[in-house]
Chains A and B, each alone.
Chain A
């Protein structure tokens, strides 16, 4: 299995947060916000994260959470798409441009974009899981000719929970197939309603050689992976992004362990063959 693109090491002292300013805030959905952060000290030696990696975002005096990067600009403006699910993410999603947030990172393994070059690429994102995949889409758009056929399958709870809709729409005009489905929809929705697995047969890619990247709720990733393998996609070309409780992010606090894997170091992006049996363990 080819190794992922070089995973970027954390900038500076891995346990020390560095002050970053919110330079842009985008309300993606009722509970999800994208914050674009830039270091307060523009001379700081900042490592640009690789797609798939995450930063630990710290809200002063509230706490710290791991957030995948959802956009990477060369001028060190890094986007993080955050869903409000608790006190820390709540505080972060209430941040406004000008606010200062502490950042530690980047950490973890990234998506192996090289694996998609010269062949077809299938991206499947469910709910907030689309956010860690967004930088992959950006990389594809920046070098469309390097990839074969590209399909993006998106699932969400409802139409107002869909993320990055205008970007996805624009991607269609770059010869990228985009299919969207929601679990439930109110009157007036003219798109599809159903499970994201139903989109797989529609993807115009060659199953046996396509590189696949999947991110979403764990149960969704399991179902999608089973569906993909049933349809002759290659398990060795399938990677998923897993999630566990992360605190130190450097593989010493022990919280993020998934079997033998430290998700903060051996993940969050993991090859399917390495993680499939671990995800089947029922922690009942």
Chain B
């Protein structure tokens, strides 16, 4: 039976992190599961939790009447879900819904924020890794914004 630390160590977002830092993070984490259709995060809620997916896919979406739920992105095994816990106003901006059976490590963002304040070196390391994920998602989003498959008219 793998420990939370072992599970987290396997994820690319924490690759190569110092063991004592990993232990700090793992200390704030628990194993969770979601049935299809359940929300991992809800738009507008306080962003206290974030997840590292172990298996299964989720949809990051927003509810836009009359079009219904619009999927912004799908994420899967190995992906980090949720970063609003680290940056003010600490509120989720999108819904995250399980598309199938999802198992993930749920991490207590509020708790980790506290640990970042106490230990700046840890805070820097964690922030740097989260920022890397944000940047990759932003680059991909910008590309999709260009609508390159469209007909080229601005």
Name A residues whose Cβ lies closer than 8 Å to a Cβ of B: 85, 126-128, 155-157, 161, 181, 183-187, 189-195, 197-198, 216-217, 219-220, 223
Q: List the 4 shortest-distance A-B pairs measured between CB atoms, nearest first.
A: A127-B149, A157-B149, A217-B148, A195-B140
- Flag the segment in B23-31, B40-48, B65-73, B87-95 that touches A: B65-73
**Smallest CB-CB separation from B153: which chain A residue?**
A85
Q: Are A157 and B150 in contact (CB under 8 A)?
A: yes
Q: Answer yes or no: B20 CB below 8 A from chain A CBs.
A: no
Name B residues whose Cβ lies closer than 8 Å to a Cβ of A: 57, 59, 67-74, 76, 99, 140-141, 143-144, 146-152
Residue numbers in B under 8 Å from A197 (CB-CB) = 140, 143
**Smallest CB-CB separation from A220: which chain B residue?**
B148
Q: Are B149 and A190 in contact (CB under 8 A)?
A: no
- Most B Cβ at <10 Å: residue of A155, A161, A181, A184: A184
- Most A Cβ at <10 Å: residue of B76, B140, B147, B152: B140
B149 touches which of A156, A192, A194, A223 (Cβ 8 Å):
A156
**Smallest CB-CB separation from B150: which chain A residue?**
A157
Q: Are A194 and B70 in contact (CB under 8 A)?
A: no
Within the complex, the shortest CB–CB distance from B62 to chain A, in Å, comes to 12
Q: Are B143 and A195 in contact (CB under 8 A)?
A: yes
Residue numbers in B under 8 Å from A220 (CB-CB) = 143, 148
Residue numbers in B under 8 Å from A223 (CB-CB) = 143
Q: Are B69 and A217 in contact (CB under 8 A)?
A: no
Q: Are B148 and A194 in contact (CB under 8 A)?
A: no
Residue numbers in B under 8 Å from A195 (CB-CB) = 140-141, 143-144
- Most A Cβ at <10 Å: residue of B72, B76, B146, B149: B149
Q: Are A190 and B148 in contact (CB under 8 A)?
A: no
Complex: A259 Cα to B22 Cα, angstroms: 51
B143 touches which of A184, A185, A219 (Cβ 8 Å):
A219
